[in-house]
Structure 1
Amino acid sequence: MKIISTEVKNKVLNSMMRLLDDNRSNILDANKKDLDLFKKDDQAMYDRLIVTNSKIDGMIGSIKEVMSQDDPVGKIISTQNLENGLDITNKTAPFGTIMIIYESRPDVTIEAAVLAFKANNKILLKGGKEALYSNTILVELWHKALEENGLPKEYIQQLTKNREETQEFLRNPTEKLDLIVPRGGERLINFVKEHAKCAVLVSGRGNNFLFVDKEADWEKSVKVIMNAKTEKISACNALDKILINANIENYEKKLTDIYQLLSAKGVETLVDADVNSVLTNAQQIKDDAIWKEEFLAMKCCLGSVDSLDEAVEKINDNSGGHSATIMTSNKDTAMQFMEEVDCAAVYQNASTRFTDGGQMGVGAELAISTDKLHHRGPLGLKQLVTNKYYIFGDGQIRE
């Protein structure tokens, strides 16, 4: 693949920022077509689909932030001079062609493309049909930005295939694919894993947990729980499950308090049998499989545990490997929790809503990876490269 200079890449990004700003009304009109066709029964998906002037500002901001970052291509990872005279340099290199499959978020069309392009990759954008008009105009603007700077449109391509066509494309791609990132629910992820013939980097489900330890500051705990659960239900970093140590002081009163606060905010709170013995009017969980579900709704589960070990075990058995929080003033307890919980991001005394590229200092993100290879957590610019060994010799042969 031809390596584009950093100067040319940044010129394309400058053009795209200008085009987004100049075409606000066209973008909003296209998005309105999508919204008019969308059944508003899924509030979380509707929140992801809608584009506003504020969201366009965010798109421009994402591009500006990526433009300010160092070019990740060609960075030296290591050098070595062997006794046989070979000079070996390990450097970062583009993946090649990345495909991302995502649902209902037009801003991903901006963030995914800007990251892939700045890292010198081609990207195939397979957005959901519910955002077709929005995604189409954004890709058209990308093409204008590329052409203004003498580059072909093939660097950023939109795929409008249906499910069957996508399945066939994954089985028998018409061009070489180096990496696929499915960004959505478990059905989408399983679909891609089943049919893809290249590497798949999973942006997994949320289903995030928060554990209130017996040494927690209750006022802080309430603040964090309410933010993580209600601030943005459509986000994969939203809170779904709350565990409270039964040995906390004033346990029954605190259970009652958090249940009432969640209910007042419109959150449907399901409880386990132990909590139900205190909150007798609450709806008891009938099937333990619900502990594995990501809700993306004003809904959560509230359970009781007797120890840190029990909390860690329950989280590791049920979470999506995304984010988990412990509320405690005990640093040793917090560190044990953070070391033993198997998630991409673990917190002490903070909301899971911070698991986000921009919030974690990475900048724009392609996704939140819950895989352990080749990267875990926010997939930012630096994570969209692989590596390559350069070996310089002078006629050496292996004997």
Structure 2
Amino acid sequence: MTGYVRKLAVKAREAAVQLATLDGAARAALLESMADAVDAGRSDILVANAQDMERARGNGTSGAMLDRLQLGEARIDGIVQAIREVAALPDPVGEVTRTSTLDNGLQVDRVRIPLGLIAMIYEARPNVTADAAALCLRAGNAVLLRGGSEARESNIAIARCLHRALEEHGLPREAVALLEDTAREHVLELLQLSDLIDLAIPRGGERLIRFVAENARVPVIKHYKGVCHLYVDRAADPALALKLAIDGKLSRPGVCNALETMLVHADIAPGWLPGALAELQARGAEIRGDERTRGLFPQATEATPEDYDTEYLAPILTVKVVDSFEDAVAHIRRHTSDHTEVIATEDEEAARCFVQSVRSSAVMVNASSRFNDGGALGLGAEIGISTTRLHSYGPMGLEALTIERYVVRGTGQARHGDVSSKVT
């Protein structure tokens, strides 16, 4: 099937031109129709997902991956709601973010426009098919989707619903182009299409992200992994700190904004840490700790140096006692994945210094790491979380799927003086 991906990308690129001409109301109406189509097609989606789940279990797929793959009535409700939330968001296309009038009378505006054609390469999560389509279309872009083979049937079922909505609105189905053939060589072909694809966004495990980044000739937004930290300061509220630890680690361990490491100031550790870790363990967490942590909580197993760089995607928490705020920040800067860092403290100066000292895409002060999510931060469904310092950093919503350009309006100004006498 030589050229399979290029042919599909060419059609998607043509669809992007058509989408860019639609006004915001038309794109919002399209998304509402897509939400209706997914809602109406849920029985077909659930049947397809059951096939994927059966195959995944047969292949020995892990618990975290199965959790991401599985759809049920509640998760389909979530997909439908996410599409509607994106439809209701303000239209970013055409927004003037800056305007000025120069001494020569030129009006200079910075205006948001669609990126064009976005390639989405992802694993396991079939909801990404709908989320990515909704966000890209709302921002005036077409999207080329390559989901993982483990979610193939689910992705096809969701895409068919989206295609029905596109056809109802007289738009080409290639505006949401899905690579139904998930062969690995097609990913390589896709990543070489620098003349057609404006941005590639991989979403999945670290191995996938590195494969995309190392083989792409198109721009790539990267998010390798989520090694998220909670620092419990000497001035932390004990009950609040425990609440953040429980929610951050155990509310859904298999996601990228779950906590992996907890750092505890030595001044608060003796009185707080044993009880906090006992509560976490009672709720199902496995505790791995440094020597000082194990001295206070002997039930913990020994943490290895590799543990501090590991995204577990499981109910495992690595714990370390630190002597100072500076030691906590130094540890975070050494082991961060630039995803999310949290401080629990009642000391406003410590909070201010923490925000200024860590560089991750989201910093939480007395709030759970689980809030680093597009929906939770008011962006609607996110297309991913960027830990790459390009035009977008952190959860990527609608604005991250546009780019600003200059629009200059004049009345005949010429930069090099009066050239009218030279024109014949």
In the TM superposition, residue 394 of structure 1 has moved relative to its aligned partner by: 4.6
Aligned ranges for residues 47-126 of structure 1 at < 5 Å?
Answer: 47-126=67-146
Amino acid at match of 1:167: L
Aligned match of 2:392: 375
> Which structure 1 segments of 5+ residues have no match?
none
In the TM superposition, residue 125 of structure 1 has moved relative to its aligned partner by: 1.0
1:42 aligns with 2:59: no
Aligned match of 1:143: 163
Aligned match of 1:276: 294
SS of the residue corresponding to residue 374 of structure 2 reads coil
1:155 aligns with 2:175: yes
2:147–2:182 Cα contact (<8 Å) kept: no
Aligned match of 1:365: 382
2:192–2:218 Cα contact (<8 Å) kept: no
In the TM superposition, residue 204 of structure 1 has moved relative to its aligned partner by: 3.9
Q: 1:78 to 1:21 in 2, by over 3 A?
A: same
Partner Cα distance (1:311, 1:198) in 2: 37
Among 313, 316, 325, the alignment partner of 1:308 is: 325
1:182–1:201 Cα contact (<8 Å) kept: yes
Amino acid at match of 2:381: A
Aligned match of 1:285: 303
1:243-281 Cα offsets, whole Å, 9 max, x none, are 111112xx3353322332222222221111222333345
SS of the residue corresponding to residue 55 of structure 1 reads helix
Partner Cα distance (1:219, 1:247) in 2: 16
Among 322, 329, 352, the alignment partner of 2:346 is: 329
SS of the residue corresponding to residue 22 of structure 2 reads coil
Among 46, 55, 67, the alignment partner of 1:28 is: 46
Aligned-pair RMSD on alpha carbons? 1.7
> Which structure 2 segments of 5+ residues have no match?
1-16, 417-424
2:193–2:218 Cα contact (<8 Å) kept: no
1:207–1:293 Cα contact (<8 Å) kept: yes
SS of the residue corresponding to residue 38 of structure 1 reads helix
Partner Cα distance (2:298, 2:35) in 1: 55
Amino acid at match of 1:269: I
Among 185, 193, 205, the alignment partner of 2:205 is: 185
SS of the residue corresponding to residue 161 of structure 2 reads helix
Aligned match of 1:262: 280
Aligned match of 2:186: 165
Amino acid at match of 1:265: R
Partner Cα distance (2:363, 2:307) in 1: 22
1:165-186 Cα offsets, whole Å, 9 max, x none, are 312321346x611011111222
Which deviates further from its counterpart, 385-394 or 31-40?
Answer: 385-394
In the TM superposition, residue 85 of structure 1 has moved relative to its aligned partner by: 4.0
Amino acid at match of 2:245: I
Partner Cα distance (2:189, 2:83) in 1: 33
Among 352, 355, 366, the alignment partner of 2:369 is: 352
Among 11, 15, 19, the alignment partner of 2:29 is: 11
1:175-225 Cα offsets, whole Å, 9 max, x none, are 611011111222111111111112111234111000111111112211211
Partner Cα distance (1:9, 1:327) in 2: 42
Partner Cα distance (2:39, 2:61) in 1: 31
TM-score when normalising by structure 1? 0.94
1:342 aligns with 2:362: no
Moved over 6 A (4+): none
Amino acid at match of 1:275: T
SS of the residue corresponding to residue 136 of structure 1 reads helix
In the TM superposition, residue 154 of structure 1 has moved relative to its aligned partner by: 1.5
SS of the residue corresponding to residue 296 of structure 2 reads coil
| Number of equivalenced pairs | 395
Partner Cα distance (1:41, 1:283) in 2: 26
Partner Cα distance (1:347, 1:6) in 2: 33
In the TM superposition, residue 41 of structure 1 has moved relative to its aligned partner by: 4.6
Aligned match of 2:419: none
Amino acid at match of 1:21: D
In the TM superposition, residue 14 of structure 1 has moved relative to its aligned partner by: 2.1
Partner Cα distance (1:52, 1:335) in 2: 42
Partner Cα distance (2:244, 2:202) in 1: 29
Amino acid at match of 1:323: T
TM-score when normalising by structure 2? 0.89
Amino acid at match of 2:186: E
Q: 1:138 to 1:202 in 2, by over 3 A?
A: same
SS of the residue corresponding to residue 161 of structure 1 reads coil
Aligned match of 2:236: 216
Partner Cα distance (2:106, 2:299) in 1: 74
1:213–1:326 Cα contact (<8 Å) kept: yes
1:204–1:321 Cα contact (<8 Å) kept: no
Percentage identity across paired residues of the two chains: 38
1:94-152 Cα offsets, whole Å, 9 max, x none, are 00011111111111111111010010101011111111000001111111100101001
2:288–2:317 Cα contact (<8 Å) kept: yes
1:336-385 Cα offsets, whole Å, 9 max, x none, are 11211111111122211111111111211111111222121211112211
Partner Cα distance (1:215, 1:79) in 2: 45
1:16-41 Cα offsets, whole Å, 9 max, x none, are 12211211111100100100101265
